[in-house]
């Protein structure tokens, strides 16, 4: 068992080393793409899609991981959305990239300082946020509004932080304020099984896992036009939760308990 654990740790850090080395090469390519498309690709779609390839490479080359993608065809490249998803793991971002859809992330400001990957985030025009800084939050919301005006989709994790258990935490209002103000449809995503593959606060890989990302039906602006922000958040949370494995299990247990009583 001890040798097995050593092997897992070695494999995990070898994978991290591969990510670092390949990122240096891929960042050079990303710079070339950005320069070549600077004057005709104002939405940075080409670089966004290359970044999807870059990120997807790290799930494709990992033999203990697979990603099931469901209902990708529901995403319309001609439209922009406020995309919202549950959040279980650091892997959620890699899994979402497998959709190969141009969107912008909101990420902690310090992540943009990381060599190559963080620098590529700057190239892609992702949105910085300093947690606990009200001015940074205001600037983030302003930038998101400008991107949505330019027909660029935004993806957010309304829980604000990763869930250790998979049970969805209450949704914060920011994403829904944006959707309502900018009159944009909300596109819910569901992510399953990433928390077990790479748990919160861990870099150690955990056995074979089949991760899943599912695209749900978009919620048009007309559906929530006259709703309060908190009600929109609860509606979307309930919609996503109905497809999350841990919530499905919880509902089954409640049902069994009711039958027993």
What are the pLDDT digits (tens) for 148-196? 999 999 999 999 888 888 899 999 999 999 999 999 999 999 999 998 7
**Separation CA 256–CA 65 (nearest Å):** 33
pLDDT of residue 7: 63
Q: Residue 5 is encoded by which pair of tokens?
A: 């654990």
Confidence class of residue 14 from pLDDT cuts 50, 70 and 90? confident
Q: Are 172 and 140 in contact (CB under 8 A)?
A: no
**Separation CA 183–CA 180 (nearest Å):** 5
- 4 pLDDT higher than 80: no
- 2 pLDDT higher than 70: no
CATH assignment of the domain containing 28? 3.40.1130
> Which H or E element spans position 92?
helix 91-97
pLDDT of residue 120: 97
Give the residue-averaged pLDDT of 233-247: 95
**Separation CA 67–CA 59 (nearest Å):** 8
- 221 pLDDT higher than 90: yes
**Separation CA 1–CA 231 (nearest Å):** 50
Boundaries of domain holding 218: 2-260
pTM across the whole model: 0.90
pLDDT tens digit sequence for 20-58: 999 999 999 999 999 999 999 999 999 999 999 999 999
Confidence class of residue 197 from pLDDT cuts 50, 70 and 90? confident
**Separation CA 95–CA 207 (nearest Å):** 17
Q: What is the dihedral of CA 7, 8, 10, 11, to 10 degrees?
A: 110
pLDDT of residue 1: 47
Using the CB atoms, write b or e for 242-257: b if 16+ within 10 Å.
ebbbbbeeeeeeeeee
pLDDT of residue 113: 94
Provide Rg for the chain, Cα atoms.
Answer: 19
What is residue 110's DSSP assignment? G
- 205 pLDDT higher than 70: no
The total of structural domains in the chain comes to 1
* Share of the chain residues as helix, strand and coil, in percent rounded to the nearest 5: 50, 15, 35
């Amino acid at each position: 068992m001890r040798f097995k654990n050593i092997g897992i740790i070695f494999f995990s850090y070898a994978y991290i080393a591969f990510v670092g080395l390949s990122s240096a090469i891929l960042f050079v390519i990303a710079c070339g793409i950005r320069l070549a498309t600077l004057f005709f690709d104002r939405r940075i779609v080409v670089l966004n899609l290359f970044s999807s390839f870059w990120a997807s490479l790290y799930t494709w080359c990992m033999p203990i991981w697979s990603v099931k993608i469901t209902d990708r065809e529901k995403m319309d490249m001609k439209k922009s959305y406020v995309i919202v998803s549950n959040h279980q793991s650091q892997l959620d971002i890699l899994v979402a990239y497998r959709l190969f859809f141009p969107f912008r992330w909101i990420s902690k400001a310090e992540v943009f300082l990381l060599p190559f990957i963080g620098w590529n985030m700057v190239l892609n025009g992702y949105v910085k946020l300093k947690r606990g800084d009200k001015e940074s939050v205001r600037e983030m919301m302003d930038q998101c509004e400008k991107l949505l005006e330019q027909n660029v989709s935004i993806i957010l994790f309304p829980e604000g932080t990763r869930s250790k258990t998979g049970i969805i935490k209450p949704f914060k209002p920011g994403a829904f304020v944006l959707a309502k103000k900018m009159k944009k449809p909300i596109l819910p995503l569901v992510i399953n099984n990433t928390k077990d593959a790479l748990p919160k606060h861990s870099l150690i890989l955990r056995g074979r896992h089949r991760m899943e990302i599912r695209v749900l039906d978009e919620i048009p602006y007309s559906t929530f036009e006259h709703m309060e922000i908190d009600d929109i958040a609860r509606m979307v949370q309930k919609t996503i939760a109905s497809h999350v494995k841990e919530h499905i299990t919880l509902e089954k247990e409640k049902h069994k308990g009711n039958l027993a009583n």
